[in-house]
Structure 1
């Protein structure tokens, strides 16, 4: 069975989305992890904010963003006047994937940073590094494996996002229909064969990302 033209469009859109959201995962995840571990004295509020997408139902987050960024809100009207629209657009899909996947980057990198000896940080400061420079030059390179692992996990989560994407993107055929939404549409219309094929594609992509995650994990040393 071949993919329909709409399914190909959804596949291309998901690939484009992955290209744009991956650098954002890496940069924002690193900055937030730095703020949680080194930058803030009491980061509880930020930690809770980062964790919300994990604990809250995606459709609730999507509705909140739709209410906040829609044309009826002051912020939404302002953004539209500036030429930035997050509702029923590619930008909305990007925001949905970004919010859904970001906690996986932050939490993975945060855990890795917290296991590093505090002496490393103090030594870097003693040698003349500023706190932020010490993070980028010392801590982040050592935790590079965890950082990349978090980005890959976030990408897998973002590609499979439905709830937030459905609310913000609107599931417009040929415009904001991602691969995960195309599966939802195929099942809704009773085209189970197309849905199975799309599921195999999306599942294969995510499986490939998980295999990369496993490859990045440090190998335990063996006693001879």
Structure 2
């Protein structure tokens, strides 16, 4: 037991692990906010049938669930590289390249978990009675007011459940992050990549400690979201 505690203390006191923990927390906060906004807007858009481009948007959002993470990360790497127009635009706007930076890690984590947020919201909005929106329109409410004050309160549980799943997926993301964000120690190595590095280096004790830590964080996030969706 004492040896186990010593391993935990040694691992958690490592400056590299602390940097990875801090980066993971920052990325999780950004991703949670982005996924909440995007989940509502995209779920609402996909719940409305009949508009041009809906199928393409649905495919694009669902792609991270069925496309290999490494392959998706490679595609994003090509799109956001300095030689592509998106990469050049970012370089001109931010003054530095996008690839192998913290924003790249945020984007990778955001994309990985986005389908798990959008799909529950879309399904919940599709099951709502169309009369809710129609009544609101007859009362003179605009579309953004209908979304925020009529539909959103009725899909709150679905949104929170999706955010819990999406954030959990984002915390465990490796493939896309490895390709797009790199694995730069002290800069873009998240907790999941630290586990990857530990296993690659044969340090299984370190990997076990970090795995337990990441599992606890994921469980706490899920419990908090569930409690928020089912207040006492």
- TM (norm. structure 1) is 0.92
Runs of 4+ in 1 over 6 A off after TM superposition: none
Whole-angstrom distance in 2 between the partners of 1:40 and 1:32:
15
Shift of residue 6, structure 1, vs aligned partner: 0.7
Whole-angstrom distance in 1 between the partners of 2:150 and 2:99:
40
Extract unaligned runs of 5+ from structure 1. 220-224
Whole-angstrom distance in 2 between the partners of 1:217 and 1:29:
16
Residue 222 of structure 1 corresponds to: none
Pick closer, same or farther for the CA change 1:66–1:161 going to 2, 3 Å: same
Residue 16 of structure 1 corresponds to: 26
Aligned residues: CA RMSD: 1.8
Kindly indicate whether residue 48 of structure 2 is the aligned counterpart of residue 38 of structure 1. Answer: yes
Whole-angstrom distance in 1 between the partners of 2:89 and 2:154:
42
Whole-angstrom distance in 2 between the partners of 1:102 and 1:96:
10
Shift of residue 39, structure 1, vs aligned partner: 7.6
Kindly indicate whether residue 150 of structure 2 is the aligned counterpart of residue 138 of structure 1. Answer: yes
SS in 1 for 2:48: helix
Whole-angstrom distance in 1 between the partners of 2:119 and 2:227:
19
Residue 61 of structure 1 corresponds to: 72
Shift of residue 214, structure 1, vs aligned partner: 4.2
Whole-angstrom distance in 2 between the partners of 1:58 and 1:36:
24
Q: 7-16 vs 145-154, which deviates more?
A: 145-154
Extract unaligned runs of 5+ from structure 2. 1-6
Kindly indicate whether residue 115 of structure 2 is the aligned counterpart of residue 103 of structure 1. Answer: yes
Whole-angstrom distance in 1 between the partners of 2:135 and 2:85:
48
CA contact (8 A) 2:47 2:123 kept: no
CA contact (8 A) 2:160 2:229 kept: no
Alignment of 1:54-93 (within 5 A): 54-83=65-94, 85-93=97-105
Whole-angstrom distance in 1 between the partners of 2:148 and 2:19:
39
Kindly indicate whether residue 210 of structure 2 is the aligned counterpart of residue 209 of structure 1. Answer: no
Whole-angstrom distance in 2 between the partners of 1:102 and 1:78:
24
- TM (norm. structure 2) is 0.89
